[in-house]
Amino acid sequence: MGNEIRARFSGGKIELLEKLELEEGDEIFITVRKAPSPAAAKDAFARAAGAWKGLLDTDSLLKDLKKSREINSRDIQL
């Protein structure tokens, strides 16, 4: 099972910003991925805005959802 944690590169070393539950001698795989800057995250959010417009009829979806909740299920006798 894998975990994803935050770390900071400083002074040529990787400093963990979160605790890892490992035992001495455990071998691990490390994947390094640079965290997006707050500006990049905001830009990605802005680009995604409206991307689903016209792909889903939300009024119809809500109507179907409410209708499905009105359906009575059978009583199960044990």
Whether 77 is covered by a domain: the verdict is no
pTM over 0.95: no
CA gap 17, 39 in Å, rounded: 21
Whether 2 is covered by a domain: the verdict is no
CA gap 65, 63 in Å, rounded: 5
Whether 76 is covered by a domain: the verdict is no
Whether 20 is covered by a domain: the verdict is yes
Residue range of the domain that includes 34 = 7-70
* Strand partners of residue 9: 14
Which residues have a Cβ under 8 Å from the Cβ of 16 and sit 6 or more positions away? 5, 6, 7
Q: Model confidence over 28-75: pLDDT tens digits?
A: 998 988 888 889 888 988 888 888 788 888 889 999 999 888 877 677
Identify the pLDDT of residue 8.
93
The domain total for the chain is: 1
